[in-house]
């Protein structure tokens, strides 16, 4: 498949880097201000040199000499949307995806915005297109959460829950293990690059909530006979509580009783909830460090647990490239 990668952060760069290994060709790459487009992209065979893109981005902060719009107009089969997640109108990611759909091309998202905030609009755009949209990378990084739900069929999945934010999980794990307070562990996480300078998105539960909203949309639309009857979820429908003010003393009291606290997200076709919850210390959901886990509750097949790396460039790119493979 010929890929146009929009967004040159950790995920976009990893997709560019790994595409060849998965048998795909990069025909365009764009970041927010520049782009590179393959020579003779409308029939030619000369793709973009991944190493050169990654090197230019690292050295000069640009991916090429073209305008980003040129990448959107390039001759690709699949547009990979890997720009940062934005809320509300989910722009510019949403328009990038619809640009591809309008041209009857596929889109694969790593950006949560369009599927969390405008799932209904996106469905409508897909209905009018020959192209399809896939978004495995938006939930749980490398963990195949969405395709597993699709395999089981959303109508036979009663709930999906889990630990969906590695930063919050790292902080809670370290607080419990070292008996330290939140601020101390957050500083450590920032030094290690596990937490961002502004950690609000992770520690306030927003990131986990977006993932749960996406799962709720998959369950709701997937189970409905007619998409018009499906309930659409956005972040506003989620009941969200973060971990910012959880004191070390609370984790110590939990540990004395064989329990610990994890930021747990839960999605059904009716509700989305993210909150710190008490779980058994050695239980399945008490994954450590930046690890994520997705637990799928089914009608006929019991409970499925899938744990793994919930973030990271190559991990998330593997989910993106898995989606690309499903579109072949």
Residues annotated as catalytic (active site), given as ranges: 211
| Residue span binding other proteins (CB under 8 A) among the ranges 33-41, 89-97, 194-202, 246-254 | 246-254
Among 18, 152, 177, 254, binds other proteins (CB under 8 A): 254
66 vs 273, beta carbon nearer other proteins: 273
Q: How far apart are CA 259 and CA 35, in angstroms?
A: 50
First to last CA, the chain: 7
Residue 327 to residue 137: CA distance in whole angstroms: 15
For other proteins, which residue of 109, 286, 296, 317 counts as binding (CB under 8 A)? 286
Q: Which of residues 256-285 bind other proteins (CB under 8 A)?
A: 256-257, 259, 261, 264, 275-280, 283-285
Write the Ramachandran bin of 91: left for phi over 0, alpha for psi from -120 to 50, otherwise beta: beta
Taking the C-alpha atoms of residue 112 and residue 140, their distance in angstroms, rounded to an integer, is 11
Only one residue has tokens 């058994």, namely 280
Segment near other proteins (CB under 8 A); pick from 29-37, 39-47, 136-144, 252-260: 252-260
For other proteins, the closer CB: 156 or 252: 252
Measured N-to-C along each axis, helices 119-127 and 206-223 cross at an angle, to the nearest 10 degrees, of 40
Query: Which of 250, 304, 306, 327 forms a contact with other proteins (CB under 8 A)?
Result: 250
Of 12 and 265, nearer to other proteins (C-beta) is 265
Q: Is 227 in the site for other proteins (CB under 8 A)?
A: no
The answer to whether 247 contacts other proteins (rule: CB under 8 A) is yes
The mark string for 160-179 relative to other proteins (x by CB under 8 A, - otherwise) is: -x------------------
Segment holding 307, helix H or strand E: strand 303-309
Long-range contacts of 280-286 (CB under 8 A, 24+ apart): 281/254, 281/255, 282/258, 285/161, 285/162, 285/163, 286/260, 286/262
Residue number, 244 or 326, with CB nearest to other proteins: 244
Regarding 319 and contact with other proteins (CB under 8 A), the answer is no
Of 193, 176, 195, the C-alpha closest to 255 is 176
Residues contacting other proteins: total by CB under 8 A:
26
Considering beta carbons, is residue 231 or 277 the nearer one to other proteins?
277
Residues forming the site for other proteins (CB under 8 A): 161, 245-250, 252-254, 256-257, 259, 261, 264, 275-280, 283-286, 295
């Amino acid at each position: 498949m010929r890929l146009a990668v929009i967004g040159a952060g950790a995920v976009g760069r990893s997709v560019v880097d790994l595409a060849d290994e998965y048998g795909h060709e990069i025909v365009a790459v764009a970041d927010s201000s520049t782009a590179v487009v393959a020579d003779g992209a409308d029939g030619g065979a000369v793709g973009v040199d991944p190493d050169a893109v990654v090197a230019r981005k690292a050295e000069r902060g640009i991916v090429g000499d073209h305008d980003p719009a040129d990448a959107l107009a390039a001759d690709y089969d699949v547009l990979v949307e890997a720009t940062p997640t934005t809320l509300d109108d989910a722009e510019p990611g949403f328009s990038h995806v619809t640009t591809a759909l309008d041209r009857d091309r596929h889109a694969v998202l790593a950006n949560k915005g369009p599927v969390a905030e405008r799932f209904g609009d996106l469905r409508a755009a897909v209905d009018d297109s020959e192209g399809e949209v896939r978004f495995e990378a938006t939930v749980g990084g490398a963990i195949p959460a969405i395709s597993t739900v699709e395999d089981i069929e959303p109508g036979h999945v009663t709930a999906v829950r889990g630990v969906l934010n590695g930063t919050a999980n790292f902080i809670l794990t370290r607080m419990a293990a070292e008996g330290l307070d939140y601020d101390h562990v957050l500083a450590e996480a920032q030094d290690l690059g596990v937490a961002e300078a502004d950690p609000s998105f992770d520690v306030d539960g927003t990131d986990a909530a977006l993932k749960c909203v996406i799962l709720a949309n998959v369950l709701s639309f997937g189970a409905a006979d007619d998409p018009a009857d499906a309930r659409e979820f956005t972040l506003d429908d989620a009941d969200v509580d973060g971990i910012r003010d959880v004191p070390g003393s609370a984790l110590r009291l939990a540990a004395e009783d064989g329990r610990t606290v994890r930021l747990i997200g839960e999605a059904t076709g009716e509700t989305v909830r993210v909150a710190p919850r008490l779980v058994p210390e050695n239980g399945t959901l008490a994954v450590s460090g930046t690890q994520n886990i997705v637990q799928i509750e089914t009608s006929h097949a019991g409970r499925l647990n899938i744990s793994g790396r919930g973030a990271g460039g190559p991990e998330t790119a593997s989910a993106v490239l898995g989606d690309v493979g499903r579109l072949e």
